[in-house]
Amino acid sequence: MAKAGRKSKYCPEIVERICESLKLGVTMQGAAYAAGINPDTFYEWKKRFPEFAERVTRAIGESEESLVQIARQSSDPRVAVMLLERRFKGGWSKGEAHTVDQKSTVTTVNPAVLKAFSNAKERNRVTDTAQTTEKA
């Protein structure tokens, strides 16, 4: 007896769409969404269809290769290198560890904003002084 449920979306067109996205450097999750499937389905297909898993691996390798070529040929390779560091952490990351403490809040203020505030008149002080003078 056949399995109940809807028909699989697995087809050459969707596989090609996923692989093209991966070649551009899109994440596996993003490639799945771009092809109109759930990421869970993507990972299931990798387990179920060895040829799909092989094409995905090849597409990711081609993406890395393209970024390396861009970085080597560009007069300003920073974007390509940044993508390599983020997309292919194992071989390209700087090895920097960042820890986030959830108990702390850090607020960064643009220096121009700080300068603007330092040059602004203090309204409350002027208002308080005027009210004190009127009461006297």
pLDDT tens, residue by residue, 26-48? 999 999 999 999 999 999 999 99
Q: The tokens of 132 are what?
A: 């004190």
Gap between the Cα atoms of 132 and 12, Å rounded: 80
- Tell me the one-letter amino acid at 54: E
Residue ranges of domains in the chain, CATH in brackets = 12-95 (1.10.10)
Check residue 120 and report its DSSP letter: S
The pTM of the full predicted model, rounded to 2 decimals, is 0.60
Which has more confidence, 114 or 89?
A: 89
- 84 by Cβ neighbours in 10 Å (0-12 / 13-18 / 19+) ranks as buried
Residue 41 pLDDT: 96
Residue 34 pLDDT: 96
Whole-number average pLDDT of the chain: 79
Gap between the Cα atoms of 84 and 87, Å rounded: 5
Main-chain dihedrals φ then ψ at residue 25, nearest 5 degrees: 105, 5
Q: Closest Cα partner for 41 from 69, 63, 11?
A: 11
* Count of residues making up the chain: 136
Residue 70 pLDDT: 82
